[in-house]
Structure 1
């Protein structure tokens, strides 16, 4: 069964002067000539993205849009009308946001956090700023220490609400933030805690020993690239550590402690020194 607004693997049924027709089950779907890979012939299978063109015909493309149905992402408005706005999503035909799906009047040139969805009435792909109805922590599909994809959703008095794997919400507390964040920023993180009522706390980076192992390798590489010495230690400012290493001070201390125990670095009064055997 074909899925509009998503990638489909379809078989080529026939060739024409203006492209090839793909087997869509109950219908044939045109892949215009400009998108047909060289050497394509009937019987071949192609991975294509399906959406409706400006004449409301279901059409295929081998171009890759910035997102598909179910994705949440930042997109730029390229034009507006009384009926809604159009966003650039990487395809020839822009993505429509009905006026009823806007939180405030969209303006050309501005970026907005939206969710791509399939309109039940028209069957066409559209976008909405009204993301909350698509988010739920009941039930949760993640647990403590799981890694996940995060999107910054909004700022609160104690941190940032983030969207987890496009379906859940969590809180990134200010003490765990080590770089400036904007709405729509994406990062890889992990579930720090699951509290009563399925409330989730998250932290950027990777969890547990895997995280430390990754960071120790990074510190060793940076030491080798800087003649075996770096002027950072347990008294260094957390922001300076994050700016240089891309990790929190807590992770830096854990990683350098592990390297010290492995006799790969030594601590000096002003920083860390790579040992000859490292």
Structure 2
């Protein structure tokens, strides 16, 4: 039976009962649920062969996302620390295991329920079906080229590779690849996690994207900095106050201390939102 499992076969309907048809291929009998369509004895039926949770031979005519020869997306449904993670690839009464042997050594980087894995299926000598995550080369072959006009756009991205150098992701809505440097994230995303990533650069050499999980600089500004920005915008983009101004003048205008004011100015200058000189502070029009 091993060579038939996790593949699409054409089998002969040889018998039936109230709930199922029994179909044969190479002397192996598979059960086909009658809820999937009407057939009669003698018909040839094309479907996906597998073993269910009870290790019974089954055939389904439903569309299955992954097989022995093709990759497809599976959704993580359960995590077992002693075994691996279970993924739903569309098989009735069957979730396929991704073994802990092919998952990250750090269990905190394992996929969680709801995460996405791009897998193909494999069958061992005991007729057990396993799911194998796609290697990087598979994504490189599947993805198309990115473009250099996507700066600051935010897109969902699925983590498919974890390295010390950073996180490799696939953008399903764009069919593109991206890379997240460790400096562009607060924590390392787990395998299969779907993240919202912002485009910060374009790699001409391989036409992939550099991405960030951090907000843009002005989105990280503290309330004091936002208050100063608003003040500048409402005053023609200029104010006579700068980091040399007296604490009294700063307090009178903004109601904050000089230390708070200087910290806010520093953040705005780092974000390239303002510039200052001996005459005051000016808003930079980006």
TM-score by length of 2: 0.47
Normalized against structure 1, the TM-score is what?
0.48
Larger Rg: 2
